[in-house]
């Protein structure tokens, strides 16, 4: 019979806290971080096809780097935001994701636009 460990002891609780502690960092996405970014976006958006391909990811960073943010935990991307600024008059409320994002490339980004 295997003897159960007392996980409520202070020593074991301290060890468990160290293992589970998060180290969250907010930063801009980086080209070399695409694999981690892709894994997170694939989980977050499975019904929308997951992450954009690497070319689209790089295009997003090129067209509006200030609008792209990720959160990493111990070096792995765990959350991300992709944003774009557009002129509302060109798109209005009746638009598709593909249209407003320039097929995911953010070629529609307008730094003088009025809608984030």
CATH code where residue 57 lies: 3.40.630.30
8 Å CB contact between 88 and 114: yes
Q: How many domains does the chain have?
A: 1
What's the confidence (pLDDT) of residue 18? 61
What's the confidence (pLDDT) of residue 80? 93
Higher pLDDT pick, 12 / 33: 33
The answer on pLDDT for 95 being more than 90 is: yes
Sole residue written with tokens 């009746």: 94
Asked if residue 14 belongs to a domain, the reply is no
Question: pLDDT tens digit string along 15-68?
Answer: 555 667 899 999 999 999 999 999 999 999 899 888 999 999 999 999 999 999
Asked if residue 5 belongs to a domain, the reply is no
Percent of the chain with pLDDT over 70: 84
The answer on pLDDT for 74 being more than 60 is: yes
No. of helices (H) and no. of strands (E), the chain? 5, 3
Asked if residue 81 belongs to a domain, the reply is yes
Asked if residue 112 belongs to a domain, the reply is no
Both tokens assigned to 107: 């070629």
Classify the C-alpha dihedral 66-68-72-76 as positive or negative.
negative
């Amino acid at each position: 019979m295997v003897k159960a460990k007392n996980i409520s002891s202070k020593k074991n609780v301290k060890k468990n806290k160290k293992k589970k502690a998060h180290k969250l960092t907010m930063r801009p996405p980086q080209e070399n971080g695409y694999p981690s970014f892709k894994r997170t976006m694939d989980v977050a958006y499975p019904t929308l096809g997951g992450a954009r391909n690497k070319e689209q990811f790089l295009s997003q960073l090129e067209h509006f780097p200030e609008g792209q943010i990720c959160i990493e935990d111990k070096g792995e991307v765990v959350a991300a935001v992709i944003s774009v600024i557009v002129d509302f008059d060109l798109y209005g409320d009746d638009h598709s994701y593909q249209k407003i994002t320039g097929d995911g490339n953010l070629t529609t980004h307008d730094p003088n636009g009025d809608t984030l």
